[in-house]
Amino acid sequence: MAEIYRTSRRRFLAGSGQAIALTAAAGIAPQFIRPARAFASDALAPGMIGGPTGFDGAERYQYGPDTPEARAIEALKALKGAGKAPTRIVLGLSDGSIGQLTQPFPQGAPSIKDLWEKETGITLDIVGVPNGQEFTKTMQDISTKGGAFDIYAVEWNRLGDLAEAGGIVALDDYVAQHKPEWDDAERGYVNGQKGVSLLNQYRGSTYGVSLDGDFQTWNFRTDLFNDEAEKKAFADKHGHELAPPKTWKELDEVAAFFHRPDKGLFGCTDLRNQGWGYTNWYQRFVSMASPNQFLFDDDGKPLINGEAGFQATREYIDSLSYHSPDAISWGWPEQYGNFAGGGAAMTCAFSNLPKFLDNAGNQGSKVTGKVGSMLPPGREFDGQLVRRSVLWLNLSASVSAQSPHPEACYLLLQWLGSSRIYSWMTANPGGYFDPFQLSNFADPLVRQTYHDYHMDVVRETVARTVPTINYPGATAFHNALDENLMAALTKTKSPEDAMADTERQWNRIARRIGEDKLVAAIKSNKEAWPTVLDPVTG
């Protein structure tokens, strides 16, 4: 198979005149975020023992003694006192995310890197890795025993491959000892332990700490949906009101209504290109049963070669009718650039789309003040809607098995990924780490950066998100699906043949990696699948 075409988010931010005008990362922040007041205190709030200072609201990100952040810092100090801590930790991190650790935000604040080094005395050495090459660079370090990194940051669904290769450390003992509280009911991951299983675990053990929130979220143009002439024309044609679609049938209907390529408007632009499009096929497929249509049964048998797979694939192909004629080659610059230019009624993208495009600081965007968010479309079963989204990319940090100081590395990740520090970090517009914790969605600075209208929808989308394949062979499984979906899109295979061929390839992959190992991973993976259903309303 040709190498998967991945348009990096760095390329998107770097931009081009043809795609989209974006400010530099430091200028992306919405203009309505208040700078620090001149008298913002440089002292910690009463009862706090650590955290940032120097800006208005800094106390929200400070921590008292009985918190995950404080336990991490105090444990590191104890390691240092015993001579068991490193002088530096090397973190390999995608280029596009580094700014959130190194750029101070907001005005008057330290950077996260500076605060870490001040509180621990341990240098944080961040080594940039080109976006899209995280897994390749990590596997090179593991296979050559290069030991270049203490911590890898790799797509979350590579945990299985890295764990089976023996390249990363199981973190269960550290989790039990230092209590990160990821499942805290008020501040932790959405869906509690299900969310922890989804993001941090492989086969029931913790191998990663999530540092991202790449949950695919649906956006629409409020100026189109609220236009009185459009509402009347739609109602006259379809006999019901124009509204953000709740089902796939409604999405197809609304997208067809707005599709006016002769006027520079496409109905919907959720991507169809190689390496990305299959995640949008996923959303249609997994909503084919209640509460979920699974990809495999509990014995490891693929479930795609049947009517659910055929219908999802037929819908996926038919939806090209309201996309760009070049949809199967569109990547990030084209999708974001088109939406910023007012060229689409709806799309599905990373949760950062409003952050960047509904932004008065982005003078190249024509949709500022005109973007809305909606839950993913779904299907009706017995009076309830199954609405599902997916997680894609989403960096997870893991401790290298070659690091001489694994506990110290874990403690950095506990501190970095805990709710107070992570909320402060994800509000920073200097990178790609997006919100995913309950505390993030409630944080005023995060809500200003990402918009109030969007944050509640993202939180509820996370609660309805299924994992893509997250076990050994993930890349091979996805490549097989991707190849066959592309063949179906280009009419070189029927939907039925595409699914049958995918099943055959998946069975071969399963035999190669070991069917017993696969079955155990599938059963563990299912623990992270959501069960949320929505009532059908008129």
Residue pLDDT, tens place only, 355-370: 999 999 999 999 999 9
From 535, 527, 521, 537, select the one nearest 183 (Cα to Cα). 527
CATH number at residue 258: 3.40.190.10
Q: Does residue 252 share a domain with residue 131?
A: no
pLDDT in tens, 57-108: 999 999 999 999 999 999 999 999 999 999 999 999 999 999 999 999 999 9
Given pLDDT bands bounded at 50, 70 and 90, which one contains residue 40?
low
Question: Which run of H or E residues covers position 534?
Answer: strand 534-535
Q: Rounded to an integer, what distance in angstroms lies between the CA atom of residue 42 and that of residue 48?
A: 13
Domain boundary among 467, 493, 517: 467
User: Looking at the domain assignment, is residue 481 inside a domain?
Assistant: yes
Beta bridge partners of 127: 92
Q: Does residue 369 share a domain with residue 259?
A: yes
From 158, 160, 155, select the one nearest 203 (Cα to Cα). 160
Q: Does residue 271 share a domain with residue 384?
A: yes
User: Looking at the domain assignment, is residue 8 inside a domain?
Assistant: no
User: Looking at the domain assignment, is residue 372 inside a domain?
Assistant: yes
User: Looking at the domain assignment, is residue 270 inside a domain?
Assistant: yes
Domain that holds residue 269: 218-390+469-535
Q: Which amino acid is at 390?
A: V
User: Looking at the domain assignment, is residue 441 inside a domain?
Assistant: yes
Q: Which amino acid is at 136?
A: T
Q: Does residue 520 share a domain with residue 421?
A: no
Give the mean pLDDT of the chain.
Answer: 91
How many domains are contained in the chain?
A: 2
Q: Does residue 475 share a domain with residue 404?
A: no
pLDDT, position 455: 97
Q: Rounded to an integer, what distance in angstroms lies between the CA atom of residue 242 and that of residue 456?
A: 22
Q: Does residue 444 share a domain with residue 409?
A: yes
- 427 near 445, Cβ under 8 Å? yes
Going through 64-196 in order, the beta strands assigned E by DSSP cover 88-94, 123-129, 151-155
Q: Does residue 240 share a domain with residue 351?
A: yes
pLDDT surpassing 70 at residue 391: yes
Q: Does residue 510 share a domain with residue 477?
A: yes
Q: Does residue 480 share a domain with residue 457?
A: no
Q: Does residue 402 share a domain with residue 369?
A: no
pLDDT, position 472: 87
Residues 6+ apart with CB under 8 A from 70: 49, 50, 63, 64
Domain boundary among 467, 484, 509: 467
**Beta strand pairing call for 151-155 and 88-94:** parallel
Q: Rounded to an integer, what distance in angstroms lies between the CA atom of residue 432 and that of residue 413?
A: 17
Q: What is the rounded average pLDDT of the residues 10-36? A: 35
Cβ neighbours, 10 Å, residue 39:
6
- 287 near 465, Cβ under 8 Å? no
pLDDT, position 392: 87
From 352, 350, 422, select the one nearest 389 (Cα to Cα). 350
pLDDT surpassing 90 at residue 134: yes
User: Looking at the domain assignment, is residue 247 inside a domain?
Assistant: yes
pLDDT in tens, 451-498: 999 999 999 999 999 998 988 899 899 999 999 999 999 999 999 999
- 10 near 95, Cβ under 8 Å? yes
Given pLDDT bands bounded at 50, 70 and 90, which one contains residue 538?
low
Domain boundary among 426, 446, 467: 467
Write out 380-403 in H/E/C secondary structure.
EECCEEEECEEECCCEEEEEECCC
User: Looking at the domain assignment, is residue 252 inside a domain?
Assistant: yes
User: Looking at the domain assignment, is residue 11 inside a domain?
Assistant: no
Sign of CA dihedral 338, 342, 344, 346: positive
pLDDT, position 493: 98
Q: Does residue 530 share a domain with residue 497?
A: yes
Q: Does residue 199 share a domain with residue 177?
A: yes
Predicted TM-score of the model (pTM): 0.91
